[in-house]
């Protein structure tokens, strides 16, 4: 199969937890290949040969109802070690005769102190001086299933870790995959290496040649187009395909005019001159500005920008003859169908747009060489392809760009002001050695003018907002704590250098309840 890695693996059954992807990431970070599948897909899985261990994830379901998400009971007799996490743990207990109760009294959210009750191969070197685990559950296992033993307890959950060592089945009520659990990685290390006895078999950069060969085999003599944004994903896709088919890859960069100062043209030059890509730059800033005139609603802006991007890309690609493939930077997290496994509909917060979301009606075959990889793995691939550090370590930048960072009405003058502010902000972060410590930083322009005083004169100008967050995957985020001297410096420098701004504010909300972008 294309871009598929047929090797020994740890299989993760996804019951819809928000953090299932982290389990797979942790395991791959230890050099072991892991894959996520839904319980539905598990039903049809015939070949368990390469599966050396199974992890049942957490999820919103409850085994206390008549109908609940489950796995075939025969999974437990395949002699493959199994670890259940949170819901996965409750499911193991339920299927082995334990008792689970939905009780408000026993629910635990947040950190809980854990204490060891007996030694277990799962918890070797786990109980160090700090012993907090991260809990997020309402149901609790209140009766131990037959042939299981208690390994650890918290104040509110007597059954926090259980084991059936003979059958190699283990369950933990907490989430070892989140960083709030002290030493949580040790649980995975013990499970995969000591219990599953799987050998290290995953090294991202060594996959590079296989991917390039796969691309050659799939594309043969045809041509491929690719929307290049200069972000890490599309850049790595372009470099990989370029290595495989050279000039038969045509990259299109659509300049929306909503990019950071100088960034797009600079990126274009790098790809054209340094990497010798066949790349076309389309300046469409006037169209974007025209269509966005007087549009204040964030969702409308997103739809207009996304739609226009697709139209322009389609128009340009029609000018190129004999194209058979459209390359996209789809990543592994994009294709994990955890939502469909729970059947739950999540509320739509924002309509995301990125160059990966191009229309299917283009009648081109999709080429998605990164679809088995996580973002941090893509960075490793990029590094081994010689991608410049500047692009490799660039903070995420949303498809709609500055369009969703100019709050309210978008005007040419506002774009210029924001580009200047953002440019100063990012450069100062680099100078202060802070850029690499922050997951994402940017400046936004607020639609309010306030009074200030400069020299002896009154000013009445815009307010800009600075945002900087730490995060693991953008799903949750904490605001970054700047040293005071940086805040002093940055506010001075912005107000003194950017005409049109007389006030700087720093956003100190986390996600949730805020989001990272303002619109
Ligand atoms: P929010 O604002 O939802 O953002 O907390 C989470 C992450 O997603 C990025 N983002 C986008 N990325 N197209 C993208 O490619 C989009 O439309 C988009 N909107 C938000 C955001 O910058 C942050 O990294």
- Model-level pTM? 0.82
For the domain 9-195, what is the CATH code? 3.40.50.880
pLDDT at residue 360, rounded to an integer: 65
Under DSSP, the state recorded for 167 is T
For the domain 411-506, what is the CATH code? 3.30.300.10
Calculate helix-pair angle for 208-219, 232-245, nearest 10 degrees: 60
Please give the helix or strand (H or E) that residue 324 lies within, else none: strand 323-327
Average of per-residue pLDDT across 145-162: 95
- Site of tokens 């169908």: 337
pLDDT at residue 347, rounded to an integer: 60
Average of per-residue pLDDT across 287-294: 97
Average of per-residue pLDDT across 26-44: 94
Average of per-residue pLDDT across 131-139: 90
What are the pLDDT digits (tens) for 60-98? Answer: 999 999 999 999 999 999 999 999 999 999 999 999 999
Whose CA is closest to atom 21 on ligand 1? Answer: 398
Q: Please identify, by atom number, the ligand 1 atom nearest to the C-alpha of residue 352.
A: 17
Known catalytic membership, residue 177: yes
Known catalytic membership, residue 86: yes
Q: Is the pLDDT of residue 237 over 60?
A: yes
pLDDT at residue 191, rounded to an integer: 98
Mutate to test the pocket of ligand 1, among 356, 396, 407, 476 (most ligand atoms within 8 A of CB): 396
Q: Is the pLDDT of residue 41 over 60?
A: yes
Q: Is the pLDDT of residue 341 over 80?
A: no
Query: How distant, in Å, are the alpha carbons of 62, 74, 112, 141, 159 from that of 137?
Result: 10, 27, 12, 11, 13
Average of per-residue pLDDT across 342-364: 63
What are the pLDDT digits (tens) for 306-339? Answer: 999 989 999 998 999 999 999 999 888 887 644 4
pLDDT at residue 2, rounded to an integer: 62
Contact 121, 186 (CB under 8 A): no
Do 204-392 and 9-195 fall under one CATH topology? yes
Find out whether the beta carbon of 440 lies less than 6 Å from any atom of ligand 1.
Answer: yes
Find out whether the beta carbon of 517 lies less than 6 Å from any atom of ligand 1.
Answer: yes
Under DSSP, the state recorded for 106 is G
Ordered by start, the domain boundaries in the chain are 9-195, 204-392, 411-506
User: Given pLDDT bands bounded at 50, 70 and 90, which one contains residue 342?
Assistant: very low
Average of per-residue pLDDT across 293-302: 96
Under DSSP, the state recorded for 221 is T
For the domain 204-392, what is the CATH code? 3.40.50.620
């Amino acid at each position: 199969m294309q871009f598929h890695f047929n090797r020994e693996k740890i299989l993760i059954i996804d019951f819809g937890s928000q953090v299932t992807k982290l389990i797979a990431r942790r395991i791959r970070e230890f050099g072991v290949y892991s894959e996520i599948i839904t319980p539905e897909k598990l039903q049809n899985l015939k070949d368990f040969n390469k599966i050396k261990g199974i992890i049942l994830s957490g999820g919103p379901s409850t085994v206390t109802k008549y109908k609940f998400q489950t796995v075939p009971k025969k999974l437990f007799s395949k002699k493959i070690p199994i670890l259940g996490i949170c819901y996965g743990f409750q499911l193991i207990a339920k299927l082995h005769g334990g008792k689970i109760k939905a009780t408000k009294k026993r629910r635990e959210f947040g950190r809980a102190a854990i204490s060891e009750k007996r030694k277990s191969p799962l918890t070797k070197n786990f109980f160090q001086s700090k012993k907090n685990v991260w809990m997020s559950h309402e149901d609790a296992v209140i009766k131990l299933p037959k042939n299981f033993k208690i390994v650890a307890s918290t104040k509110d959950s007597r059954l926090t870790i259980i084991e059936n060592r003979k059958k190699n089945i283990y369950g933990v009520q907490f989430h070892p995959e989140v960083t709030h659990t002290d030493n949580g990685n040790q649980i995975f290390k013990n499970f995969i290496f000591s219990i599953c006895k799987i050998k290290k078999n995953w090294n991202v950069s060594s996959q590079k040649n296989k991917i390039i060969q796969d691309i050659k085999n799939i594309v043969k003599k045809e041509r491929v187009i690719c929307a290049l944004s200069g972000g890490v994903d599309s850049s790595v896709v372009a470099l990989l395909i370029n290595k495989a088919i050279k000039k038969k890859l045509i990259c299109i960069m659509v300049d929306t005019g909503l990019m950071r100062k100088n960034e797009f043209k600079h990126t274009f030059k790098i790809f054209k001159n340094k990497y010798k890509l066949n790349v076309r730059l389309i300046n469409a800033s006037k169209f974007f500005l025209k269509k966005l005139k007087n549009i204040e609603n964030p969702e409308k802006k997103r739809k207009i920008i996304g739609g226009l991007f697709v139209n322009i890309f389609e128009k340009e690609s029609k000018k190129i003859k004999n194209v058979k493939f459209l390359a996209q930077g789809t990543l592994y997290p994009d294709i994990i169908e955890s939502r469909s496994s729970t059947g739950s509909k999540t509320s739509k917060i924002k309509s995301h747009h990125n160059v990966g979301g191009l229309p299917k009606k283009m009648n081109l075959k999709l080429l998605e060489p990164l679809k088995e990889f996580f973002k941090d793995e893509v960075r490793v691939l990029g590094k081994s392809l010689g991608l410049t550090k500047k692009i490799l370590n660039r903070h995420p930048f949303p498809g709609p760009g500055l369009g969703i960072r100019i709050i309210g009405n978008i005007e040419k003058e506002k774009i210029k002001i924001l580009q200047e502010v953002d440019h100063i902000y990012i450069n100062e972060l680099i100078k202060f050695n802070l850029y690499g410590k922050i997951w994402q930083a940017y400046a936004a322009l607020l639609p309010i003018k306030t009074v200030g005083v400069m020299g002896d004169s009154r000013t009445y100008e815009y307010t800009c907002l600075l945002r900087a967050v730490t995060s693991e995957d953008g799903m949750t985020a904490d605001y970054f704590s700047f040293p005071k001297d940086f805040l002093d410096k940055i506010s001075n420098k912005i107000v003194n250098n950017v005409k049109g701004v007389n006030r700087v504010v720093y956003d100190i909300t986390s996600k949730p309840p805020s989001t990272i972008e303002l619109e």
